Structure 1
Amino acid sequence: MPERTAIVTGAGTGLGRAIAARLLRDGFRVTLTGPDGVQLTETARLAPDHGELATIVVGDLRQPDVRREVIARATAGPGILFGLVNNAGLSAVEPLLDESVATWRAIFEVNLDAAFFLSQAAIEHMRPHGTGRIVNIGSIYGVVGFNNHGYGARAPMSTPGDRGPVRQSAYDASKGALIQLTRTLATAVGPWGITVNTVSPGHIPWANEAAGTTPVASAASGGAKPAALGQRVDPAILTALAEQVPLRRTGRAAEVAGPVSFLLSEDAAYITGQNIIVDGGATVW
């Protein structure tokens, strides 16, 4: 079997860091990409036994030149481009009536546009080999409505000036669209031996667990770094969010990395077009 390379976007923090670390441990060559080179370097450093398998590409995936560089670097080494994990995400939490066109477009450009066009480019390289795996990182808020309960003062139901409840409409809509994009791509590229799936996290404070830092924002609300919910989380908020989960706890980033690893394994060769929800049962209530 040839050596296999996987791309992980948004690999500098949180879920992206955990996913990259897991795939490095699995033996993949991993191309780490994101806007902050220091964070990406730290991701590689935190995998000391496997860091030599990491390649770093710094840039904004909204830019076509950056996407081209990511693909070029991922395909320059030995082996084949086998995996793409579209994890990079952007969110903004604002009163409903204050959400702007500019914010909406920026979030869609990162969460949906970049994921599609990077997938499109990766598929060009996977197709000749008759194999490949694409995993999109969604959110429970791509399948259920945003629930203000549990976020306390960070997501009130009423705001000054009667501007409505705090919402993350663009983020939620982009994740719903990403789940549908997964289905569309899966049906298109299945004949070429490529699978496409989504992993949708629930309430997962995405601290750098390897470094033992304080938890920050729930992955359900960004996975990357939401504007408001991306602050350090009050323990009372974590407790309130845990009460929404049948397992009575929030999740860990490694518990998202595991399903991603599975979807890139041979055991998942006959799974495509699916949305695997990793939320401790929060969406079954």
Structure 2
Amino acid sequence: MMLADKVAIVTGASRGIGRSIANTLAENGASLAIVGTNLKLLNEVCSDVEKMGRECLVFAGDVTNPETAEEVSKKTIGHFGKIDILVNNAGINMRSATLDVELEDWHHVVDVNLNGNFYFSKAVLSHMVERGCGKIVNVSSSTAKSGHKNAAPSYGASKAGVDYLTRHLALEMARYNINVNGVSPGPIETDMIKQWSDDYFEKVTSNVPLKRLGTPKNVADVVLFLASSMSDFLTGETINVNGGTYMN
């Protein structure tokens, strides 16, 4: 029970990596506040968490609205009395080439992937500062570090912004004993793979040095490490979880 008696907020928790993060934190003792746009799926995750004997609050809301972050923070503190961990996982991708990107789509991706992280971080940080402790984990992407022709430019740019935000908050909040780190997934086996042809799947897999795709649980386990006391002397880092496709 690495997170016994801890309280965590997880955004984008309804499916894929976010759902696995929520389940993994709960398995290790954390009570949760989960955020997403699909209430049905969120309630399914909440049911799984409660079956483990943990408490779970559900918030169906848009992370691009700063009022959502404020509401989730206040109600989580009101119910549990504290927030120990924030996992900024909510994110979207689009696959338009630069000359085809609509400005509305550019702004929407940046709003979800970068601004949403900032809103939620800002909403919990005053509470964490008062308590003199806290863990924030931002979910980035290997696309932030290397161009990817299968992603819209807004996706890589927004995730690069997440990487910088991680470093900036880590430096600024270190004196309050708040750790801010990130995880950078590469090719992960999620529902999106159902859209891939067999040839494309083989091509992606063959380019991974470990010759396989990662799983949401692979990412969730690194988030668990960063959310736990095992990472107490680690801050400002973003850990690659990509089978070796990008190394630094």
* TM-score (normalised: structure 2): 0.94
Q: 1:171 is matched by which residue type in structure 2?
A: Y
Identical aligned residues as a percent: 33
Q: 1:117 is matched by which residue type in structure 2?
A: Y
Distance in 2 (CA, whole Å) between partners of 1:144 and 1:272 is 23
Distance 1:258 1:188, change over 3 A: same
Of 203, 223, 241 in structure 1, the residue corresponding to residue 187 of structure 2 is 203
Measured after TM superposition, the shift of residue 51 of structure 1 is 5.9
1:184 maps to which residue?
168
Secondary structure of 2:90's counterpart equals coil
Measured after TM superposition, the shift of residue 2 of structure 1 is 8.7
Measured after TM superposition, the shift of residue 48 of structure 1 is 5.3
Distance in 2 (CA, whole Å) between partners of 1:143 and 1:9 is 23
Of 202, 209, 215 in structure 2, the residue corresponding to residue 239 of structure 1 is 202
- The within-5 A match list for 1:41-120 is 41-47=43-49, 49-50=51-52, 52-120=54-122
Of 223, 232, 238 in structure 2, the residue corresponding to residue 269 of structure 1 is 232
1:223 maps to which residue?
none
Q: Once the two structures are superposed, what CA deviation does each residue of 1:68-109 show, in whole Å capped at 9, x if it has no partner?
A: 211122212234201000000011111221112111111111
- The within-5 A match list for 1:105-254 is 105-146=107-148, 148=149, 155=150, 167-206=151-190, 216-217=191-192, 232-254=195-217
CA RMSD after TM alignment: 1.8
How many pairs does the alignment contain?
246
Distance in 2 (CA, whole Å) between partners of 1:122 and 1:235 is 43
Measured after TM superposition, the shift of residue 245 of structure 1 is 0.8
Distance in 1 (CA, whole Å) between partners of 2:53 and 2:21 is 14
Q: Does the 8 Å CA contact 1:4/1:79 hold for their aligned counterparts? A: no
Q: Once the two structures are superposed, what CA deviation does each residue of 1:176-207 show, in whole Å capped at 9, x if it has no partner?
A: 1110110001000000000101100000022x
Runs of 4+ in 1 over 6 A off after TM superposition: none
Distance in 1 (CA, whole Å) between partners of 2:247 and 2:117 is 28
Q: Does the 8 Å CA contact 1:57/1:69 hold for their aligned counterparts? A: no
Secondary structure of 1:91's counterpart equals coil
Distance in 1 (CA, whole Å) between partners of 2:77 and 2:198 is 43
Distance in 1 (CA, whole Å) between partners of 2:236 and 2:242 is 19
Distance in 1 (CA, whole Å) between partners of 2:129 and 2:64 is 24
Asked if 1:258 is matched to 2:221, the reply is: yes
Of 6, 9, 12 in structure 1, the residue corresponding to residue 8 of structure 2 is 6
Q: Does the 8 Å CA contact 2:145/2:160 hold for their aligned counterparts? A: yes
Unaligned runs of 5+ in 1: 149-154, 156-166, 207-215, 219-230
Q: Does the 8 Å CA contact 1:85/1:135 hold for their aligned counterparts? A: yes
Distance in 1 (CA, whole Å) between partners of 2:4 and 2:51 is 21
Q: Does the 8 Å CA contact 1:202/1:278 hold for their aligned counterparts? A: yes
**Larger CA Rg, structure 1 vs 2:** 1
Distance in 2 (CA, whole Å) between partners of 1:46 and 1:245 is 32
Distance in 2 (CA, whole Å) between partners of 1:48 and 1:236 is 41
Distance in 2 (CA, whole Å) between partners of 1:33 and 1:85 is 10
Measured after TM superposition, the shift of residue 265 of structure 1 is 0.8
Secondary structure of 2:51's counterpart equals coil
Deviates more, 1:50-59 or 1:135-144: 50-59
Q: 1:35 is matched by which residue type in structure 2?
A: T
Measured after TM superposition, the shift of residue 257 of structure 1 is 0.2
Secondary structure of 1:283's counterpart equals coil
Question: Which structure has more helix as a fraction of its residues?
Answer: 2
Q: 1:85 is matched by which residue type in structure 2?
A: V
Of 24, 27, 30 in structure 1, the residue corresponding to residue 29 of structure 2 is 27
Q: Once the two structures are superposed, what CA deviation does each residue of 1:220-251 show, in whole Å capped at 9, x if it has no partner?
A: xxxxxxxxxxx633343222211111100000
Q: Does the 8 Å CA contact 2:4/2:29 hold for their aligned counterparts? A: no
Secondary structure of 1:134's counterpart equals strand
